[in-house]
Amino acid sequence: MADLSLAAVLPFVLALGLTGAAAGILSGLLGVGGGIVVVPVLFWVFKALGYAPELGMQMAVGTSLVTVAVTALSSARAHHSRGSVDIGILRRWAPWMVLGALGGGSVAGLVDGALLLVVFGTVALLVAWNMARAKGFTIADALPERRGVQPAMAGSVGLISAMMGIGSGTLGVPLMSAFSVPVHRAVGTAAALGLMIGVPGALAMALFGLGVEERPPFSLGFINLIAVVLILPLSVYCAPLGTRIAHALPPVWIKRAFAVFLCITALRMLTSAL
């Protein structure tokens, strides 16, 4: 274990608070879900505190899923007040996303944490590439009506997102946008769907982490309660701020800057896994 004195831990406490603020703003601004920031920061914090990278990644994923659920609620309420949540998509996707998230959380709790690093790093690189593009790609003029297609889409987003510890926006927004769902409506709907990933995914990570040795103090399964308390307040507070910015400004340059950050982070996590 690393030094756990106040002087050594204080920088990490401040880092987690700032991470919560950044996660909340990005959740409302880009619809990517705060987990895309929270997971890598938590991974590096746990690693710096002396925990094995594999365990640190599982703790980061489980803890992030709790913050995803609560931040999603705050962000979704703000988007709903502006009429940017598509209730039809929400109703069609929610049950399948819950099932996918349960599966993803279970896999994340059972497999070696190195696999989670590879999954996160690979998908994060793809997300960074998509964010850096000037324009998104379009597949069709509307979401497919063919039986089973939308459930498969929602379940896949839930599965991969829960394994990464992120909300539905990171994968769901570009997917909905590819089928011509307006971007503000895609962001708002993805925020609401974040609950369908965060809650079941976190429950699975809490269950499968019970009894695992050498976890950080004050952990419920793979969820560290101290990190949750430090991250959540600013994350919830800042999510509506991100929503207001999203409705006021074209976030293209913010997206590109975040894409660079995400690319660097993904490469470092892949390096840790290898």
User: 232 is written with which tokens?
Assistant: 């959540």
- Gap between the Cα atoms of 264 and 128, Å rounded: 9
Cβ distance 160 to 171 under 8 Å?
A: yes
Mean pLDDT of 31-46: 78
CA atoms within 13 A on the CB side of 108: 41
79-84-90 Cα angle (round to 5): 95
* pTM score: 0.82
The pair of three-digit structure tokens given for residue 190, joined into one six-digit string: 């993805």
Cβ-contact 191, 79 below 8 angstroms: yes
Q: What is the pLDDT of residues 64-93, one digit of tens each?
A: 999 888 877 777 777 777 787 889 999 999
Distance, CA of 203 to CA of 209 (rounded, Å): 10
Q: Which has the higher per-residue pLDDT, 187 or 203?
A: 203
Q: DSSP string of 2-44? A: ---SHHHHHHHHHHHHHHHHHHHHHHHHHSS-THHHHHHHHHH
Highest mean pLDDT among 7-16, 140-149, 265-274: 140-149
Phi and psi torsions of 69, nearest 5°: -65, -45
**pLDDT of 3 higher than 60:** no
Q: Which of 111-125, 202-216, 249-263 has the lowest mean pLDDT?
A: 249-263
Distance, in Å, from the CA atom of 93 to the CA atom of 144, rounded to the nearest integer, reads 13
Can you tell me which residue has the tokens 């000037």? Answer: 134
Chain centroid, CA 89 distance in Å: 20
pLDDT in tens, 156-197: 999 999 999 988 878 888 888 888 888 778 888 888 898 899
How high is the pLDDT of residue 30? Answer: 63
Query: Which residues share a beta bridge with 223?
Result: 220
Mean pLDDT in residue range 212-224: 89
- CA 76 and chain centroid, separation: 14
Q: How far apart are CA 148 and CA 152, in angstroms?
A: 6
pLDDT of amino acid 253: 66
pLDDT reported for residue 1: 47
> Which band of pLDDT confidence, cut at 50, 70 and 90, is reported for residue 146?
confident
The letter for the amino acid at 205 is M
Position 222 confidence tier, pLDDT thresholds 50, 70, 90: very high
The answer, yes or no, to whether residue 8 has pLDDT greater than 60, is no
As a residue count, the chain comes to 274
Residue from 77, 52, 81, 66 nearest 212 by CA? 52
Average pLDDT of span 33-37: 72
107 C-beta neighbours (distance < 10 Å), count: 18
- Report the interhelical angle of 53-81 vs 225-248 (nearest 10°): 40
Task: Note the pLDDT of residue 99.
Answer: 96
Which residues, including other chains, have CB under 8 Å from residue 218's CB and lie 6 or more apart? 224, 225, 226
Q: Could you tell me where the DSSP H helices lie in the chain? A: 6-30, 35-48, 53-81, 87-110, 113-132, 149-164, 169-178, 183-208, 225-248, 252-273
